[in-house]
């Protein structure tokens, strides 16, 4: 099964993606993670992506679609995957339809008022886990792997505002795109705890 995870920044896509990947043995592909790894590695793609990411804008479609199309040809994608952060606009969705088969789009719905606080309070670990400062009780390391927690460079109020604008103008129209294809499932408990959200996703996935 090939799944798309849709939702605004801070909706909990990454958190749910690792839970779904563990339970259903699906490959988790996050375009944001791919860009961050390239930035860390100092690659040409990383250099290009950084300026867009820092501004809260989308990395150009041509680069992003190519990365995903290539990644889906790897052997490990043959048993089903979950795309987290791709597609992010109608053009990317149309391209995806040309090189892959999408079975389901899970849209995690969260009230926009909560998103700024969720993202600005987010602390992440290199292993993929993420936390909110309000639940860390001062801890600075990851409960799962012991790694050092840090704040993403683009998790600051100014960039988040731009990311939310980008989501509303470019990404939100995908909800209708997948509804028309009969592939949309909406996760209405997006404001709940990660376990509550995951419980609803399990129901949807059967």
Residues forming the site for ligand AMP (CB under 6 A): 9, 31-32, 35, 52-53, 56-59, 64, 85-86, 88, 92, 163
> Do residues 46 and 39 make contact, with C-beta atoms less than 8 angstroms apart?
yes
Q: How far is the CB of 49 from ligand AMP (least distance, A)?
A: 7
Q: How far is the CB of 52 from ligand AMP (least distance, A)?
A: 5
C-beta closer to ligand AMP: residue 97 or 199: 97
Burial of 108 (0-12, 13-18, 19+ CB in 10 A): buried
Catalytic residue of the set 36, 50, 118, 122: 122
The tokens describing 85, both together, are 């952060």
Catalytic residue of the set 71, 152, 179, 183: 152
C-beta closer to ligand AMP: residue 48 or 137: 48
Rounded distance between C-alpha atoms, residue 119 and residue 34, angstroms? 19
> Do residues 190 and 196 make contact, with C-beta atoms less than 8 angstroms apart?
no
Catalytic residue of the set 13, 36, 57, 71: 13
Catalytic residue of the set 36, 50, 88, 118: 88
Q: How far is the CB of 57 from ligand AMP (least distance, A)?
A: 6
Rounded distance between C-alpha atoms, residue 111 and residue 109, angstroms? 7
Q: How far is the CB of 37 from ligand AMP (least distance, A)?
A: 11
CA 159 to chain CA centroid, nearest Å: 16
Residue 152 annotated to the active site: yes
C-beta closer to ligand AMP: residue 35 or 178: 35
- The CB-side HSE value for 151 (13 A sphere, CA atoms) comes to 13
Q: Which residue is nearest to ligand AMP (CB)?
A: 32
Q: How far is the CB of 137 from ligand AMP (least distance, A)?
A: 26
C-beta closer to ligand AMP: residue 128 or 201: 128
Burial of 10 (0-12, 13-18, 19+ CB in 10 A): buried
State the angle between helix axes of 44-54 and 31-41 in degrees (0 to 180), rounded to the nearest 10. Answer: 120
Residue 57 annotated to the active site: no
Residue 13 annotated to the active site: yes
C-beta closer to ligand AMP: residue 64 or 200: 64
> Do residues 200 and 187 make contact, with C-beta atoms less than 8 angstroms apart?
yes
Active site amino acids: 13, 88, 122, 152, 163
């Amino acid at each position: 099964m090939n799944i798309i995870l849709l939702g605004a920044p801070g909706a909990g896509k990454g958190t749910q993606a690792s839970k779904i990947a563990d339970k259903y043995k699906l490959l988790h592909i996050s375009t944001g993670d791919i860009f961050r790894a390239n930035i860390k590695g100092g690659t040409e793609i990383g250099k290009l992506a950084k300026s867009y990411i820092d501004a809260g804008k989308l990395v150009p479609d041509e680069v992003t679609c190519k990365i995903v199309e290539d990644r889906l040809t790897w052997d490990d994608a043959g048993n089903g995957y979950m795309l987290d952060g791709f597609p992010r606009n109608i053009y990317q969705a149309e391209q995806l339809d040309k090189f892959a088969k999408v079975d389901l789009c899970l849209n995690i719905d969260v009230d926009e008022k909560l998103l700024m606080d969720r993202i600005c309070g987010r602390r992440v670990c290199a292993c993929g886990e993420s936390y909110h400062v309000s639940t860390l009780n001062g801890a600075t390391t990851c409960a799962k792997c012991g790694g050092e927690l840090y704040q993403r460079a683009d998790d600051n109020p100014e960039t988040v505002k731009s990311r939310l604008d980008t989501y509303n103008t470019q990404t939100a129209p995908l909800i209708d795109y997948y509804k028309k294809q009969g592939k949309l499932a909406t996760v209405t408990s997006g404001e709940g705890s990660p376990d509550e959200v995951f419980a609803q996703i399990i129901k949807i996935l059967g």
